[in-house]
A and B are shown apart, each in its own frame.
Chain A
Amino acid sequence: MTRRVLAAVAALLGLLALLRPATRQPKDLAPIQLAEWIRGRKPGLRVIDLRSVEQFDDFHIPRAERFDIESLASTTFKPDETIVLASDEAHVFGDRQVYILRGGLRGWFDEVMNPTITENAPAAERAAFQRVSDVSRYFGGVPRVVDKPRAPAHTAVTTFRRRGC
């Protein structure tokens, strides 16, 4: 009897494993989190940039690697690697957990390179901003205190590059 139950449970769990997992939804990753991972030299971190060669050469996130979609599909990543796509579209990645950089490269610029805070922000926000500023400066960013709530800075990549990153 016990054996039958065990066998049935194993068979059921085994068969259910056949159902393709609803393709793992990529998780959003806050740019500042990625920045901290890069600064902390997180082991196995792979930042994958899917933009064109020109865009990549123009500017890319430190430690990022450029991939074509095609070459990405034929690349096997080690199980202990954390994959972050720095791109604006979600790509199907099988049943493997990947992270999508929230806001893409623009998110990186707005939140890591140009973080802002209003003058009269509450204390909690200020504390968080302190942490962000720290990381931002590490990457040569310019945290600023502004008087109006943030109008997305959206600095063009090219202008940023000229500032000498």
Chain B
Amino acid sequence: MMAPLLNSEPLVVAVAIGVAFGWTLERAGLGSAPKLAGQFYLTDLTVFKVMFSAIVTAMLGAYWLSRLGILDLSRVYIPETYLLPQLASGLLFGAGFVIAGLCPGTSCVAAATGRGDGALVMLGMFGGVLATGLAFAPLQRFYESTPHGSLTLPALLNVPYGVVVCAVVAMALIAFQVAERLEKRA
């Protein structure tokens, strides 16, 4: 069983992974705000297709590498669950997404490829984080409410990991069919 290759995470690796990340986002066309916004008017479902196929790929990869004893998944950081803040902030974040037309990651790609709106999204993002960070004290109770640690769907539903993996793949394949139909109709 292999732990992740790096403990100290040299920063050059961070840059390399970032380059690959930015590259794929740009290739997919996710550096262009009107294309992203099309997701929310059901005219261009690229965001959904790219995101969901990335999730399926990485999920299958992580599952199989772990099952074959190659990757020790217990050493990979799983984002922690805080139900209430993540539900409420998710709604807020989604609203910001459709106003901006870009999300934080894609705004960096947009800005890097010359899009002024991308730079402004980055600036706004910075301002929002700055203001929230400064006004954090009264928000802290909400931020830390309803904690559930590294809760995963298999643990929540009490079904084996492989069953959830299969269900997500099935959901994705069906959803992709629906997405293609919706795009044709638009």
Contacts and interface: CB of A to CB of B under 8 A. Distances in A.
A95 B155 CA distance: 13
Contacts of B42: none
B2 interface: no
Interface residues of A, number: 22
B176 interface: yes
Interface of B: 1, 53, 56-57, 60, 63-64, 67, 73-75, 78, 149-150, 152, 155, 160-163, 165-166, 168-170, 172-173, 176
Contacts, number: 59
A78 B149 contact: yes
Given A14-B165, A17-B165, A19-B162, A78 B60 contact: no
Given A95-B161, A97-B1, A79 B150 contact: yes
A28 B126 CA distance: 51
Interface of A: 6-7, 10-11, 13-15, 17-21, 44, 76, 78-82, 94-95, 97
B53 A6 contact: yes
Nearest to A27: B1
Given A7-B176, A10-B173, A79-B152, A17 B162 contact: yes
**6 closest Cβ pairs, A-B complex:** A14-B169, A17-B162, A17-B165, A14-B166, A13-B60, A18-B166
B160 A94 contact: yes
Of A11, A79, A82, the most chain B CB neighbours within 10 A belong to: A79
Given A80-B75, A97-B1, A14 B170 contact: yes
A79 B172 CA distance: 26
Contacts of A80: 74-75, 150
